[in-house]
Amino acid sequence: MQKDYFNMELLRFTTAGSVDDGKSTLIGRLLYDSKTIFEDQLDAVKRTSKQKGLDHIDLSLLTDGLKAEREQGITIDVAYRYFSTPKRKFIIADTPGHIQYTRNMVTGASTANLAIILIDARKGVLEQTRRHAIIASLLKIPHVVVCVNKMDLVNFEEEIYENIVQDFKNFSAKLEIPDVHFVPISALLGDNVVKRSQHTDWYGGPTLMYLLENVYIASDYNHIDCRFPVQYVIRPHTTEYHDYRGYAGRIASGIFKPGDEVLVLPSGFTSKIKSIDTFEGPVEAAFAPMSVSMTLEDEIDISRGDMIVRPKNQPKVSQDLEVIICWLNPKGPVPRAKYYIRHTTREARAMITDIQYKMDINTLHRLEGDKDIQMNDIARVSIRTTAPMFFDSYRKNRFTGSLILVDENTNETVAAGMII
């Protein structure tokens, strides 16, 4: 098995659904059918199923969480799960579907290539479904798979499925979701999850697993706009590498090659890339999301938080940012409160200078005049920073367009921001 495992790709996805739509069962099913479940785990689940008086194995228990939550019988945070097939390794950010947990969904969505949105076939598109789709679109998740679940409870009827698909399409047309797929499934029985269903002759599309394995993700990274946030400066101070000065970091976007002319922000100095080094030796090209160390032809003073770009393709440079934020903390922002802002490898202090409007996360409508931001709220704000930031719009670049705000007193991460 997996002889070719040096050629596997990584796909990160998140799952969203309202309570009881079957999210845990679906994840359990994916883990079970991809043979990721071990005997001792299965034994524990069998034991618990029995204790609960169930006559079947409750696959949803496989994704069960922490003790306190187990007692409360709910999931309250993002949990990560792993499975792989010979083609891809998958990381699931499993987030709960409660109304109050927009923040968890945003967290899980921030790193995802793909979102699975679950709909109960008996209930159709609900307010929560809209919210999940809106969050996927706000966070710019490139691919969405809408799973119409519990098809077994509606006799696998085509018409019911088609109506739901149409409903979803009608409303999502206003959103920016580049790639949407629909699959009729039964998570409980396994129909169209990994194996094709015997009950949906009318459905000509692929199974969920086929989509997960084959969705084209190579273009999810931005390979056009060269952005290299400097994370750390490597200075070996050894005889062999006496004058070595390597700018270490992870490529945010674009493709860098030795010989390329580059410009350093904020100084504006230009130079050429001398080498791009890794432990295995120099490489001929570096692209997102590689971690490398770059050396330049000229000695320039560069430190953490600086950004190396191409002279003819520069990010915006400003101390004023227009941002869509999701508030993550139980305590809302107070007027003129100050925060630390983290953006790429750069940190500064920041102030929310204006709250322009809040957004109704179920309809995308602007709530003009409502400026009372609470946990789980999405709002458009203006932020002023103490030092210039080098950024692109989130739409163009998920890495140079995203930021977090950190409370100066509690040190908690209180907001996630996407630059407009």
Partner 1 sequence: MTYNYNLNHLKELESEAIYIIREVVAQFEKPVLMFSGGKDSIVMTHLARKAFFPARIPFPLLHIDTGHNFEETIRFRDELMAEIGANLIVGSVQASIDQGRVQEEKGWNASRNGLQTVTLLDALEEYKFDAALGGARRDEEKARAKERFFSHRDEFGQWDPKNQRPELWNLFNGRKKMGEHFRVFPISNWTEMDIWQYIKHDQVKIPSLYFSHKRPCFVREGVILAYADFMQLKEEETVKEMQVRFRTIGDITCTGAIQSEANSLDDIIQEVATSRITERGGRADDKRSETSMEDRKKLGYF
Ligand X SMILES: Nc1nc2c(ncn2[C@@H]2O[C@H](COP(=O)(O)OP(=O)(O)O)[C@@H](O)[C@H]2O)c(=O)[nH]1
- Decide if residue 19 touches ligand X (CB under 6 A): yes
Footprint of ligand X on 60-79 (CB under 6 A): 60
CB of 339 closer than 8 Å to CB of 408: yes
Nearer to partner 1, 242 or 369 (CB): 242
- Decide if residue 186 touches ligand X (CB under 6 A): yes
Residue 293 contact, options partner 1, ligand X, none, Cβ 5-8 Å cut-off depending on partner type? partner 1
Q: Which of 19, 50, 54, 82 binds partner 1 (CB under 8 A)?
A: 82
Phi and psi for 284 in degrees, rounded to 5? -90, -15
Q: Applying CB under 8 A, which part among 14-22, 196-204, 263-271, 402-410 lies near partner 1?
A: 402-410
Q: Which of 29, 103, 131, 358 binds partner 1 (CB under 8 A)?
A: 103
- Decide if residue 406 touches partner 1 (CB under 8 A): yes
Rounded to a whole number of angstroms, the minimum distance from the CB of residue 66 to ligand X is 16
Nearest to 353 by CA among 384, 314, 397: 384
Q: Which of 19, 74, 99, 285 binds partner 1 (CB under 8 A)?
A: 285
Nearer to partner 1, 277 or 377 (CB): 277
Separation of alpha carbons 154 and 176, rounded Å: 31
Would you mind telling me the total number of residues written for the chain in this entry?
420
Rounded to a whole number of angstroms, the minimum distance from the CB of residue 215 to ligand X is 22
Nearest-5° angle of CA 77, CA 79, CA 85?
155
- Decide if residue 25 touches ligand X (CB under 6 A): yes
Q: Considering all CA atoms of the chain, what is the largest pairwise distance in Å, rounded to the nearest integer?
A: 75
- Decide if residue 199 touches partner 1 (CB under 8 A): no
Residue 68 contact, options ligand X, partner 1, none, Cβ 5-8 Å cut-off depending on partner type? partner 1
Burial class (CB in 10 A: 0-12, 13-18, 19+), 284: exposed
- Decide if residue 103 touches ligand X (CB under 6 A): no
Q: Applying CB under 6 A, which part among 18-26, 33-41, 172-180, 355-363 lies near ligand X?
A: 18-26
Q: Which residue is nearest to ligand X (CB)?
A: 22
- Decide if residue 152 touches ligand X (CB under 6 A): yes
Q: Which of 31, 93, 180, 188 binds ligand X (CB under 6 A)?
A: 188
Separation of alpha carbons 361 and 327, rounded Å: 13
- Decide if residue 24 touches ligand X (CB under 6 A): yes
- Decide if residue 277 touches partner 1 (CB under 8 A): yes
Footprint of partner 1 on 108-127 (CB under 8 A): 110-111
Footprint of ligand X on 226-285 (CB under 6 A): none
Q: Which residues pair with 276 in a beta bridge?
A: 294
Q: Which of 8, 20, 81, 270 binds ligand X (CB under 6 A)?
A: 20
- Interface with ligand X: number of residues (CB under 6 A): 16
CB of 113 closer than 8 Å to CB of 220: yes
Rounded to a whole number of angstroms, the minimum distance from the CB of residue 39 to partner 1 is 4
- Decide if residue 240 touches partner 1 (CB under 8 A): yes
Rounded to a whole number of angstroms, the minimum distance from the CB of residue 121 to ligand X is 8
| Chain contacts with ligand X (rule: CB under 6 A) | 17, 19-25, 60, 149-150, 152-153, 186-188
